[in-house]
Structure 1
């Protein structure tokens, strides 16, 4: 019943969009931008102390744990990859609205999970010009440390290995795509927001439920790259949201509603 309700919620939301092709929706920017910005400010004001600090082989990270845990039960893990604005070593700048969203009391209660947000001292994805004429991302030598961090947490926390997810914005969104290509079979689902895709691993990308959100007015990471990826993947397990007139920013519905955890947590990896 719970899975049905979550699916119904997602379907009812997308019915408000304009369906272009199967899995492809074009949505408007919400009219009430002021309310969304206030909600974003409230989330960003959540104290960083809600997250414990850690360091994995020189990579600082923050970890949010479920408010309560039940002995013998395992919980989802969400890996959140930061944008270039989060680069550093202070273990703070990576705590953007996508990370602190999960620390809201109502989200903690409704969607208990481990949330890990590593911080990298350099870019995790770099951009090159693809032969198709649009930018393409390639993983840096640092990105595999995110996977090693996940592997280390699996050994010490009660993590449900069928429910490991990855999401990110901008460079983080690019790194989401890179990561799926590097380690197919690890993630149950992924969300890439306003990133630059990797066209070298389309076979792996087609096997993972992937949700791409990108504003068509984005001048920093051109929308055309993600649009091309959509057509190359040929709709395999792909949900694509084109946000009309949105520039390089996180679509506000991702932090003003429950649609993000609802979509992620209805996907599970079926190990052979």
Structure 2
């Protein structure tokens, strides 16, 4: 049973939208669009995007890496944000909890918490953007805590997905995993019950797992997006690129995309990934 801990504001949705894939409407697209494409391959599925710390961090943030400039965010979405619990698991929910058009989860990496995925000011305002995009589309965005990156954490996330999927039958579930959170993405892909509901996986500065190639999600051709900095010293870009090619396959008919942020580091994909572009591609795949 879910218990509300605190409501940040008392705003309620008066009617439930049908649980059906739809396009996310534009939201600050000019500010969050990718910088110049330096090169591409695989018919555009693989792209190398220009990234410059001075421009994309120092000029974008009022306080570098701590507080983005105000034009990048809209804080009205906080009226739809709640701190909640499922059993003992704490999470933050934003948007429509019943009859949601989609369910999007962000799973943090090592040392993170549920607060990371709803922080309006860090990572260039990119979490504020995804909250606004999903809420405006009648969807539900979740940022949970979990006990570990193994079976226990995967079971908790699976239970969260099961609970909210029951509230929004047919809503595609899209899971984004930052850094070590990718271990949970791959475990969820191997869970037959979760895989049935998956509408996409995002690996943001994350790792690879060969077991995915035999998973129920792979057999269903669940779309996969990889975002990686070329200077990531935690998970080398070359290894993630090689895994992307395995997922895509020799025929190239698997729905996989890769964005390489040239000169970007470990956290760059969380800051720079264009959520609207990726989510719309997944919803239409």
TM-score, length basis structure 1: 0.71
User: Partners of 1:166 and 1:237 in 2: how far apart?
Assistant: 15
- Pair 1:243–1:24, CA change in 2 (3 A): same
Q: Is residue 116 from structure 1 mapped to residue 105 from structure 2 by the alignment?
A: no
CA contact (8 A) 1:217 1:247 kept: yes
User: Partners of 1:210 and 1:179 in 2: how far apart?
Assistant: 13
User: Partners of 1:57 and 1:173 in 2: how far apart?
Assistant: 24
Q: Which of 62, 82, 87 is matched with 2:92 structurally?
A: 62
Q: How many angstroms does 1:112 deviate by?
A: 3.2
Provide Cα deviations, 1:133-170, integer angstroms capped at 9, x if missing partner.
Answer: xxxxxx43321210111111223x3x252422111211
**SS at 2:170's partner residue?**
strand
- Pair 1:221–1:48, CA change in 2 (3 A): farther
Q: Which of 204, 210, 232 is matched with 1:199 structurally?
A: 210
CA contact (8 A) 1:84 1:171 kept: yes
Aligned pairs (5 A) from 1:19-98: 19-22=40-43, 23-30=45-52, 32-33=55-56, 34-38=58-62, 41-42=67-68, 51-66=81-96, 74-87=100-113, 92-93=115-116, 95-96=118-119, 97=123
User: Partners of 2:182 and 2:159 in 1: how far apart?
Assistant: 19
User: Partners of 1:109 and 1:52 in 2: how far apart?
Assistant: 13
User: Partners of 1:45 and 1:266 in 2: how far apart?
Assistant: 24
The alignment's C-alpha RMSD in Å is 3.6
Aligned to 1:265: 280
Aligned to 1:215: 229
Provide Cα deviations, 1:66-89, integer angstroms capped at 9, x if missing partner.
Answer: 4xx9xx9642110111111224xx
Q: Is residue 240 from structure 1 mapped to residue 258 from structure 2 by the alignment?
A: yes
Q: How many angstroms does 1:225 deviate by?
A: 2.9
Aligned to 1:168: 177
- Pair 1:151–1:109, CA change in 2 (3 A): closer
Aligned length: 235
- Pair 1:112–1:147, CA change in 2 (3 A): same
User: Partners of 1:73 and 1:84 in 2: how far apart?
Assistant: 32
**SS at 1:191's partner residue?**
strand
Q: How many angstroms does 1:24 deviate by?
A: 1.4
CA contact (8 A) 2:81 2:93 kept: yes
Q: How many angstroms does 1:191 deviate by?
A: 1.1
User: Partners of 1:44 and 1:86 in 2: how far apart?
Assistant: 22
